[in-house]
Amino acid sequence: MNRKIVAILFLIIFSITIFSGCSSDVSYVKIQHLTANEAPQAPGKEDTWASAQKQGIGTANNDVSKVWFTLTHGAISEVYYPTIDMANSKFLKFLVTDGKSFVSDETKDTVSKVEKLNTRSLAFKLINTDKQGRYKITKEIFTDPRRNSVIMKTTFEALKGNVKDYKLYLAYDPHIANQGKYNEGYVIKANDKEILIVHREKIYSALTTDVKWKGYSIGYNQVNDPISDLEKNKTMTQHFDKARGNIIEGIEIDLSDKTEFKTVLSFGESEEEAAKTALSTLKDNYDKMLGIYIAEWNKYCDGLKDFKGKANELY
C-alpha cells in the first residue's frame, strides 16, 4: 500500500479514536470470587522458562500500552508488563483431544507457520496444522494499542471428522514478576464473565475469552495441573478454583458456541484493574484495535530512511 495512503488512514483512525474517547472502557465491575475448591499438593514441580527460539515479538508503538509478547513454537510465550524486563508468563497454548484416545499439544504436535498481518508492523498470524492431519488452529496476535492487553483471535478447524469430535483446551502457565513459584491463581466472575486471575506482588493478570467455557481448573505444575490431567485422562476431570505456587490454569473452550473466538490476557496493579482492562479490550472493536496498531507501526516506519529504496521491509 502507498505510504502516503497509509499515513492518511492513520490520521483518520487516530482522529476518530481521539474524538470518540474510550467509550468501550468498562468503568465498573462487580466481582464474585469462585474459590471454594482449592487444589491440593502444593507447590508443584520446579518452574522453568520457555525456549529462547522465538518466532516473533510484538508490542504497540506508543507509550500507552505497556505490554510486550513473544512467540515460540506456534504459541505465545513470555508476556512482559509493565516493563520489558518483567516477564509474567511461560506459555499460553492450546491442547486438542478427542476425549478418549489422544492429546495433541499445538507447540509440539503441529507444523507451525508464521505470517505478518502487515509487513511493516508487529502483528502476527500463526497457522498450526496437526502433524496427523486432524485439525488446524489459526491465531492472530497483537496488543491492544490503548490498554495493557494481548489479543489473540483464534479459529479452530477440523480437518478430519467434525468439530464436535474434538475438545479444545487453553493452558496458561503464569510466571508473574519473573517467577513461576509463589503465583496465586483463582477464578472470579466480573460482571458475570468468568476470568482467571493470577497475581504475585503488585502484578495481576486476567485471562478471559468471548466464547463460553465448558470448564476450568487451576492446579500445580506436573502434579494436578490441567495439562497433567489431560495427558492422563484425555479430558479434564479435575476442577480446582484456587492454587498458590507453580501453577497452570486451564480452560475448556465450548466449540459448540463458536469456532472463531477472541482471547484476552490483560494486566494491572490490582484485581479490579486487570479485570476492567480485560473486559474493556474484549468489548472493544477488534478491527479498530488492529487497524490502530498497524497504523502506528506504519507511521513509525514512514519516518525511517529507506536509503533511496535500497532498504527492504526487514529494515
Q: What is the pLDDT along the chain (315 residues), one digit of tens a residue?
A: 455 554 545 545 554 444 344 568 998 999 999 988 999 999 999 888 888 889 999 999 999 999 999 999 999 999 999 999 999 999 999 999 999 999 999 999 999 999 999 999 999 999 999 999 999 999 999 999 999 999 999 999 999 999 999 999 999 999 999 999 999 999 999 999 999 999 999 999 999 999 999 999 999 999 999 999 999 999 999 999 999 999 999 999 999 989 999 999 999 999 999 999 999 999 999 999 999 999 999 999 999 988 877 777 765
What's CA 24's distance to the chain center, in Å? Answer: 20
Angle CA 57–130–54, to nearest 5: 20
Name the nearest CA neighbour of 283 among 137, 147, 124, 139. 147
Asked if residue 282 lies in contact with residue 262, where contact means CB atoms within 8 angstroms, the answer is yes
Q: What pLDDT is stored for residue 315 in this prediction?
A: 59
Amino acid letter at 22?
Answer: C
The predicted structure's pLDDT at residue 17: 47
Asked if 67 and 152 count as a contact pair (C-beta separation under 8 A), the reply is no
Amino acid identity at 2:
N
Which grid cell sits at 145? 494499542
Pick the CATH number of 29-283 from 2.70.98.10, 1.20.1260.10, 2.60.40.1080, 1.10.10.10: 2.70.98.10
How is the chain split into domains, by residue range? 29-283
Single pTM value for the model: 0.91
Reply yes or no: is the peptide bond before residue 145 cis, omega within 30 of 0: no
- Res 308: pLDDT: 76
Residue 179 has, within 13 A of its CA and on its CB side, a CA count of: 11
